[in-house]
A and B are shown apart, each in its own frame.
Chain A
């Protein structure tokens, strides 16, 4: 299969897989590709979802450029993208820590994995209680150190970081489990060889372990980036986009404009969705490209 396939003629070896792919491709077209096209199309209209759609060309996009709420959302998306990546080293650290044989290690592992199992809604609720301005645990702790109590989710500067911190909790657990599986596959002979050459501590980690964890790191990177871009439920539960819109991200803003109680500006919402899609596309293209590169490298 490693030779070029372009000269092949139609034969069962080609047509059978194509036939098997057909239902998947059809549904992918129906539920993913066509809606993307529709989103692009609707973003050129002014439409409330009920009446006649009015063609407005690029006006929705022009307005986006002036829209401060959009700017805030975009910046928050960037914060999510950057800070969410902390889940990867944190997950790696916990995985290394848990990758030992002690009595009851399975229990510890499952405890660390627990936040990923519970629903995001519950995570959001727990954290919003944790942050409560008067009764919350966070303020109970910091006031014992003589600091002023803070209202994390009520402060337009801090709120987004507060929500991201809540999101990092389950995401770290996710990365941890990826690394734990990865660590199982680390070749003991290479570690032994490294040890004979005098590598230990950080050098061992950096030069021997991490290179073997590359597939796990790649997956962790992919799921974390995607997780950051689709952050929605935590924001909806913890702050509802507030205070005064300071914790919105693009997906939440799109929902508000297009589908929420005060929304139904389908064209404007679609324009936001298109921007979000283009941002995602950059990452997706990168992922696909690096996967393709790996596969090619694997073949030769």
Chain B
């Protein structure tokens, strides 16, 4: 069916073919199984497949789009029985089970031989056991999204330090609002707060050591300090009430109605805010403020493409991975009217959008500490689950901290 695009996209073929050396004689079928199931990503993956199909007359490209949440457990079956050639997944620790089980193809040669240029900054996230197991295609920043109009009304400016953050928050509370909205029903949002508080309090390296299970949750002083900082905010009443009952989307109305002024969230929150009717004058973004004297680490979750070890058309799959990461394609798919996220290729152009531009500057200039993926991607699955449950409990009952930390420590000794 995609063959019909071949002629329609003829012009595009000519332009893109110029930057695509080799691989002219790809043939057979390339099967892509993707989790890009939301409307915008879906259009992107289908467009990518159609374009790639059009570039290679002898190659048929088939795309199966699987629901993004369902894919998290379906990937196991997909990779073992009748594996597709190319699949979507996540960077860093999340690759672990599939790398160890030998289900992802080692593509270190592509990284070494210059097929993948401009990707140096994201290489680390694709590396495991000294080899590379896939390519990233998009990532996005995390940070504090806030109501610019309310900040202006109260005469507040973007804080750079935790003291300023707290001083701002006190003024917001005095005006009868909450400082932060959050919905922790599905736990991971609390993980975001911990990531930032811990990276700022103890530094990126400490955070990663904790993720690798090298530090004790009960013994380590740094961990305690992080929770003490968090507790300052909790005791002030900075977070909305009953957040354990809401999903992250259900926590949005507090922000929209102005009952809470800020939201620590990933950039994917922006389309929701614009849909709610906010203009760029009303909302803005700042980097999570500094706490200790450490270079800033940032959360920037990266989504990826991999080749299945059991793939049938690995040659075409490799060509596709190279195609997806090329600067032109990166610019196009991550543009504001596409995924609306950040391109992974340093030679690509960042979308013309206030938030993308700020995020890009932040990650490329002021994230010298390092780039983390996110709590539930950096910590092993079981540690992440127990951990985030403990973080949620801490946000509701901060007095239970000792008990929570003991539980986390128990899990840590079991998991690693």
Interface, chain A (partner B; CB < 8 A)? 48-51, 63, 66, 68, 132-134, 151, 153-154, 239-240, 242-245, 256, 259-265
Contact = CB atoms under 8 A, between A and B. Distances in A.
Nearest to A67: B410
A239 B247 CA distance: 10
Contact of B389 (A244, A259, A264): A244
B244 A260 contact: no
6 contacts: A50-B103, A51-B101, A153-B245, A244-B389, A244-B396, A259-B73
Contacts of A154: 242, 244-245, 396
Interface string B162-189: 0000000000000000000000011100
A243 B241 contact: no
A243 B97 contact: no
B381 A244 contact: no
Interface string B370-407: 00000010000110110001101100100000000001
Given A68-B407, A261-B72, A261-B73, A63 B414 contact: yes
Given A242-B185, A264-B76, A265-B382, 13 more contacts: A48-B97, A50-B76, A134-B242, A151-B245, A153-B245, A154-B245, A239-B185, A242-B187, A243-B245, A244-B390, A244-B392, A263-B381, A263-B385
B156 to A, nearest CB: 26
Contacts of A50: 76, 80, 97-98, 100-101, 103
B161 to A, nearest CB: 31
Interface of A is mostly: loop
Contacts of A262: 376, 381-382, 384-385
Given A245-B389, A256-B385, A263-B381, A133 B245 contact: yes
Contacts of B73: 259-261
B392 A264 contact: no
A242 B100 contact: no
Contact of A242 (B98, B103, B392): B392
Interface in B61-75: 69, 72-73
A235 to B, nearest CB: 13
B381 A261 contact: yes
A287 B80 CA distance: 41
A239 B185 CA distance: 7
Contacts of B407: 68
A289 to B, nearest CB: 39
Contacts of A264: 76, 97, 381
Interface of B: 69, 72-73, 76, 80, 97-98, 100-101, 103, 185-187, 241-242, 244-245, 376, 381-382, 384-385, 389-390, 392-393, 396, 407, 410, 414
Task: Indicate the member of B80, B244, B389, B407 with the most A CB atoms within 10 Å.
Answer: B244
A62 to B, nearest CB: 11
A51 B100 contact: yes
Contacts of A68: 407
B400 to A, nearest CB: 9
Contacts of A263: 381-382, 385
A183 to B, nearest CB: 41
Contacts of B242: 133-134, 151, 154
A199 to B, nearest CB: 51
Nearest to A133: B242
Nearest to A246: B393
Contacts of B76: 49-50, 264
Contacts of A242: 185, 187, 244, 389, 392
A149 to B, nearest CB: 9
Contacts of A63: 414
B151 to A, nearest CB: 25
Contacts of A49: 76
A259 B74 CA distance: 10
Nearest to B96: A48
A55 to B, nearest CB: 17
A151 B186 CA distance: 17
A173 B390 CA distance: 38
Nearest to B100: A51
A268 B97 CA distance: 17
B95 to A, nearest CB: 12
A124 B137 CA distance: 38
Nearest to A256: B385
A51 B382 CA distance: 17
B393 A244 contact: yes
Nearest to A131: B245
B238 to A, nearest CB: 18
Nearest to B383: A262
A154 B240 CA distance: 13
B28 to A, nearest CB: 27
Nearest to B73: A259
A48 B97 CA distance: 8
A-B CB proximity, top 10 nearest: A262-B385, A50-B101, A244-B393, A133-B242, A243-B244, A154-B245, A262-B381, A154-B244, A51-B101, A261-B72
Contacts of B396: 154, 243-244
Contacts of B393: 243-244
Contacts of A256: 385
A116 to B, nearest CB: 27
A281 to B, nearest CB: 28
Which of A48, A66, A68, A154 counts the most B-chain CB atoms under 10 A from its CB? A154
Nearest to B80: A50
A75 to B, nearest CB: 17
A40 B396 CA distance: 38
A124 to B, nearest CB: 13
A153 B72 CA distance: 27
Nearest to A63: B414
Residue among B186, B242, B407, B414 having the largest count of chain A Cβ atoms under 10 Å: B242
